[in-house]
Structure 1
C-alpha cells in the first residue's frame, strides 16, 4: 500500500477529531493528512448546534461551503445564512466569528494556513 495515499470517509474519520480531516493536528510523518498549509473539516451539526464562544484574533482565512441543511455564520456586523447546497462564505484574518445550525447541517470548511496552537476539541 502506498503510504502517500489515504482513503477514508469524512464522517467516520472526522468523528474522532471534531470533524477535522486534514491539518497540522493530524499524525505527522508519512500520513498525507498532516499539513501545515491547510485544514479541512467535515462538520455535521445537529439542529440547534452552536459554537460555544466567538473566535477572536483569527489568523487564518476560512471558506465554509454548505453541503446540506441550513447554517448561520455570525460575524460582528451581520449574519450570513447558508441556505442552499453550494452556498459559501469566505473571510480573512482578523474577522471575529461564530456559528449556529438552526437545522441539521453538513458544512465543509477549509482554513489556511494550518496554525499550531488552535486546539481541536472533539464533539
Structure 2
C-alpha cells in the first residue's frame, strides 16, 4: 500500500472489523482512515437486530439495501427496505435501530466519522 491505494473485497474485509471498511477507526495514514465519513458492509442473518437503539445521533447516515429484507426503526416510524437499491437517509438527532427480516446485505455511509456509538462487541447483535 505504498502508493496510497487499497484494493480489497467488502465481504472479506468487513469480516475483519465488524463490517467497517472506512472511518476514523482505521489505521491513521492509510487510505481507509477518514474523519469525514464511515462506510460499512453489513451482512446480517435473518432475525438479527441491533442490541440497543442509537440515541443522540450526531451524524447523518445513508443505508442502502443490497440484498434481503431489512427494517429500520425510528421513533414513531418503521421503514422496510425490500427491493435491491431501496434506501433510507436520516439526520442528526434521529434515534434508530434495525432488524434483518431476511438474510440481508446493506451498505451504510455515515458522516462525519466520530467515536462513541459502538455497542460493546459481546452485545452487538441480538437474534430474535
Pairwise TM-score range, normalised by the shorter structure: over 0.9
Deviation of 1:107 after TM superposition, in Å, equals: 0.3
Aligned runs of 1:83-102 on 2, under 5 Å? 83-102=82-101
- Distance, in Å, in 2 between the alignment partners of 1:114 and 1:6 is 19
Give yes or no for contact 2:51–2:119 (8 Å, CA) kept in 1. Answer: no
Unaligned runs of 5+ in 1: none
* Structure 2 residue matching 1:11: 3-state secondary structure: helix
- Give the alignment's TM-score, normalised by structure 2: 0.90
CA deviations over 1:80-112 (Å, ceiling 9, x no partner): 000100000000000000000011000000000
> Which 4+ runs in 1 deviate beyond 6 A?
none
2:20 is aligned with 1:20: yes
* Aligned-partner Cα distance in 2 for 1:33–1:55: 24
Report the alpha carbon displacement of residue 16 of structure 1 after superposing the two structures with TM.
1.6
* Cα 1:16/1:120, change in 2 over 3 Å: farther
**In structure 2, distance between residues paired with 1:27 and 1:2:** 14
| Alignment RMSD (CA, Å) | 1.4
The equivalent residue for 2:81 is: 82
| Contact 1:17–1:120 (8 Å) recurs in 2 | no
Q: What is the aligned partner in structure 2 of residue 114 from structure 1?
A: 113
1:33 aligns with 2:41: no
What is the count of residue pairs matched by the alignment?
A: 122
